[in-house]
Structure 1
Amino acid sequence: MPLLQVENLTRSFGPTRALADATLSIKRGEIVALMGANGAGKSTLVKILSGSLPADAGRITFKGRSFAPANPAEATKAGIVTVHQSTDLVGPPGLTVADALLLPRFADRRVRFFVSRAGIRAQAQAILDIAGFSLPLDRDFGDLAAADRQLVAVARALANQADLLILDEPTASLSGQESSRLFDILLRLKSQGLAILYISHRTADLDAVADRALVMRGGQVVGSFVRPIDFPAAIETMIGRKLQSARPGARNVGGTPIFEMRHARLLPNATPFDLSLHEGEVVAITGVLGAGKSRLLSALFGLNQLIEGDMHLDGKPYRPKSPAEAIAAGVAMAAEDRHRSSLMPAAWPGNSVAGTISLPHLGRWYPSGLLWGSRERREAEKAIERLRIKASGPFSSVWTLSGGNQQKVVLARWEAEQSRLLLLDEPFQGVDVGARHDIIQAIRRRSNRATLIATSDPEEAYEVADRILTIDRHSLSTVADAANPHAIEDISA
């Protein structure tokens, strides 16, 4: 008997049917990958299983009993624990990492819990030991990088006595080393009888752990593939068409650099390095978590300062003291966590596609201070067509869009005006194959700027870049030619 049986599950939002008779099953001691483009129904299915949404029709059987959780706490109590892609609900700023790890226990009145800092730290450390992660227990959870917040979420979920663990893009912001450690933990848990539903756009992740892959499209499960999984066939089933390579040929771009760094030092003890970027060139920087990718991009955007070194943009000295100065000089940036850094909160005005695109340009577009919607509408309509953004219109809330479409809107923001240097930190995080193809083409289409991309995934670097650099201990080192078919092996070594 399957641990989980889902039969003919349906769910609609107004006229839109998110699930249409979805059917699947999962056994104990099995890792099942759930694949699907953004909008295929994966998130709706997970929300129903985790108690965040009710189904309109259909039947769920869990551990041999009918299952319809009224809320996430009820689902967790029954034995289904979900780690969502967004970590906003894991803990608020102000809590320590130890507090965030123990938050469910604080809220459970059934647990007799004597509160002392030493006791909290000891129990939090025990949770980390189970997960095999190392995190600073006394640090403010809100100050953690996205990858570390994800580790807290995964560690907390693993500490629960779950029968089914649902992971939604768990490695989206993890380094290769942390991902490998997570895979080892999952395989160990699988051997102990835990069932795992693993959602990811990264085929390397699924190849490492999945026994089966289920493919969703249009709210239905339309394909099933057993190990060894034929990923090209699975992706073709997922997108409903023949798979074409997203990667254009790498270009050899020469001439005078439009951006240069000389003898740059990111931290006091780091080795200084040089960097040159040419017009029309896409350069990717890859490295493990904490190697310095985000710090480098932040220095270029005025979020922090170099310890030492010079920068020049179009031959002129460039040393921004703030993002406003960087933008005025022609430098744009999309940071790693788009939900925190690029999107207006759902309850605020201006959270639409048009408002998101126009936000940093309002002062130039409307110098009189009077806001007219026509310019915003035009730019949003052009972006929707150019980037194939799936939205009902220019004033649709970005929070109703899938992750890939949200990222397209963020990119469109910096395509609305000319920039000389575009900085993208983990631009493919939580983005499906089809959306990634569109984003790569948009990035490489512009020849009047240089683009610098930070990614923890060598495969993503190879797909998008003309040149690939690796960063280690906050210093750039290896240079790989992306035209070399062995580039991925070279930079992963």
Structure 2
Amino acid sequence: MSLTAAPIAVAVAGIEKSFGPTRALAGADLTVAAGEVVALMGANGAGKSTLVKILSGSHVPDAGTITLGGRIVALASPSAAKAAGIATVHQATDQAGAAGLTVAENLLLDELCQPGERFFVSARSIRRRARAIAALIDLDLPLDRDFVDLRPAERQLIAIARVAAKASVLILDEPTSSLSATEADRLFAIIRRLRAGGMAILYISHRLGDLAAIADRAVVMRGGRIVGAFAKPIDFPAAVAAMIGRTLEAATHDGKISAAPIIASIKGAQLIPGARPFDLDLRSGEVIALTGTLGSGKTRLLRTLFGLETLAQGSFVLDGKPWLSNGPARSIENGVFMVAEDRWASSLLPPEVPGASIAGTIALPHLRRWFPDGLLRVARERKVAAEAIARLGIKARGPDDKLDELSGGNQQKVVLARWQAAPCRLLLLDEPFQGVDVGARADLISAIRNSQSGSATLIATSDTEEALEVADRILVMRDHSLHEAGDGHGPLTDQIGKVESEKAGEHR
């Protein structure tokens, strides 16, 4: 059955919602057919979360209707939405189950809590029923494992499996925000399986590559309304323009920044033999985002600037002087700092190592400068860490907390705080929002934007919306070379669209 012939599973019409003087939804209309994955796009504050909360019964709309299976319904509570067949899986995976219960018990959690369920249920019965639920999405986790020992991706799969048999509509809210690429691919396979079984899926994400890989259709929200709809193959440049209300070129250039002093300059740079040479100027107070597919050269450019790789040809200038780093130590001495993609491999110490606390992690690369006599002063380390905890909103008991006790987003805040604790000229960030939830991402973006006086920042990110949120300028990398709007390779919006199509191919 084609999507056009499939029955409408859920429809909202004229939905309005205000919170005091703030109008979150201003007449939103949306339909999702059975066996269809609809991507819901929109910048922060567009109304996506409010619409999801209305569909999941957490908020009651001020006006408008919700129709399920052709029947108008009132969803006055989450339990009412669940009973009607709408299931929502949120990005906070610690709330997807109950610690202290096994995988099997969590798969049956909804059933065991139903009125009329027998008080005593045998372990054999629980395992038998749990296996049947797990089979719906081909879940192969050990049924006797404790929920608390599971990775975020595994917790998410349990939440999906638990509702797969009873829901007709599944809402996935930022499902890959804390997942690796491999885990995301596994999730996509399960979504395709559910779609083939006739489930209607509303997929909310800021990761355009995910949407290119999984969505049949995309709708765009802005100002509390649906302002655009795009069939597959999704025209991402047009979708992004609808999302932000202007083209990428208009969104990513700032006249004040273009007049600022140049901090670092790259001329005739060739990252690898045979690649097209390019130039790049990084200005004081500027945040530049590099986007592109895996292997496009984003990480290599950052590693080269930090002294971990060498140029095939070309030159660097830092603060008006020729710059050639022979390694991280010299880069750090000259105010060139880097946060690598894998924070545990590059920035964090194992918990059993002395100094693996928040205070020790921030201080580690600055010890020689802070304590030239070789005598560590713990009070100074703790003071700097306490200031960082307050400034970046790090959720911790105090400066002596170990890093393995923190969430991924708070770990990343500590790593960023390390490089904000010393004078910086050039900050290099490789996928700084990977494995970070949306709330922590907003905190990190604010911290990056608010600390740019006198320095430049270069960010490698495979996520276009992250680039839009944080950057003054977006550049596309392809084949180890940079491409800007007007450089003969087409408008930036077209290049972004090509990148997103290439990302979709990575997931197939």
CA drift of 1:435 comes to 6.4
Structure 2 counterpart of 1:167, from 165, 169, 172: 172
Is contact 1:294-1:425 (8 Å) kept? no
CA drift of 1:92 comes to 3.5
Structure 2 counterpart of 1:247, from 282, 289, 297: 289
Map Cα deviations across residues 421-444 of structure 1 (whole Å, 9 max, x no partner): 999986244559x96995797599
Amino acid of the structure 1 residue aligned with 2:358 = P
Q: Which residue of 2 aligns with 1:337?
A: none
Structure 1 counterpart of 2:141, from 127, 135, 142: 135
Q: Which residue of 2 aligns with 1:190?
A: 195
CA drift of 1:21 comes to 1.0
Structure 1 counterpart of 2:351, from 269, 284, 303: 303
Aligned length: 379
> What pairs up with 1:14-29 in 2 under 5 angstroms?
14-29=20-35
Structure 1: state its 5+ residue gaps: 261-275, 286-292, 306-318, 332-359, 368-374, 385-404, 465-479
Q: Which residue of 1 aligns with 2:361?
A: 326
> What pairs up with 1:230-309 in 2 under 5 angstroms?
230-244=235-249, 247-248=289-290, 250-251=301-302, 252-253=304-305, 254=307, 255-258=325-328, 280-282=336-338, 284-285=340-341, 293=342, 295-296=344-345, 300-305=348-353
> What pairs up with 1:370-409 in 2 under 5 angstroms?
none
CA drift of 1:194 comes to 1.4
Is contact 2:54-2:60 (8 Å) kept? yes
Amino acid of the structure 2 residue aligned with 1:303 = P
Classify 1:281/1:461 alpha carbon distance in 2 versus 1 (closer, same or farther; 3 Å): farther
Map Cα deviations across residues 172-197 of structure 1 (whole Å, 9 max, x no partner): 22333332232233223223221111
Determine the C-alpha separation between the residues in 2 that align with 1:408 and 1:19: 33
Classify 1:222/1:449 alpha carbon distance in 2 versus 1 (closer, same or farther; 3 Å): closer
Map Cα deviations across residues 213-246 of structure 1 (whole Å, 9 max, x no partner): 1100111111111111101110111112211476
> What pairs up with 1:20-419 in 2 under 5 angstroms?
20-112=26-118, 115-158=121-164, 160-244=165-249, 247-248=289-290, 250-251=301-302, 252-253=304-305, 254=307, 255-258=325-328, 280-282=336-338, 284-285=340-341, 293=342, 295-296=344-345, 300-305=348-353, 320-329=355-364, 364=383, 417-418=421-422
Classify 1:430/1:35 alpha carbon distance in 2 versus 1 (closer, same or farther; 3 Å): farther
Q: Identity over the aligned pairs, expressed in percent?
A: 44
Determine the C-alpha separation between the residues in 1 that align with 2:80 and 2:414: 36
Classify 1:302/1:14 alpha carbon distance in 2 versus 1 (closer, same or farther; 3 Å): farther
Larger Rg: 2
Is contact 2:172-2:202 (8 Å) kept? yes
Determine the C-alpha separation between the residues in 1 that align with 2:358 and 2:350: 5
Determine the C-alpha separation between the residues in 2 that align with 1:224 and 1:91: 35
Is contact 1:99-1:120 (8 Å) kept? yes
Determine the C-alpha separation between the residues in 2 that align with 1:419 and 1:222: 44
Classify 1:176/1:363 alpha carbon distance in 2 versus 1 (closer, same or farther; 3 Å): closer
Is contact 1:22-1:221 (8 Å) kept? yes
CA drift of 1:44 comes to 0.8
Is contact 1:330-1:419 (8 Å) kept? no
CA drift of 1:36 comes to 0.7
CA drift of 1:84 comes to 1.0
Amino acid of the structure 2 residue aligned with 1:247 = A
CA drift of 1:141 comes to 1.7
Classify 1:125/1:12 alpha carbon distance in 2 versus 1 (closer, same or farther; 3 Å): same
Output the TM-score relative to the length of structure 1.
0.62
Classify 1:277/1:449 alpha carbon distance in 2 versus 1 (closer, same or farther; 3 Å): farther
Determine the C-alpha separation between the residues in 1 that align with 2:444 and 2:413: 15
1:98 partner SS: helix
Output the TM-score relative to the length of structure 2.
0.61
Which piece of structure 1 moves more, 480-489 or 413-422? 480-489
Q: Which residue of 2 aligns with 1:353?
A: none
Map Cα deviations across residues 28-62 of structure 1 (whole Å, 9 max, x no partner): 22211100112211111111111111111111111
Determine the C-alpha separation between the residues in 1 that align with 2:326 and 2:450: 21
Classify 1:206/1:422 alpha carbon distance in 2 versus 1 (closer, same or farther; 3 Å): closer
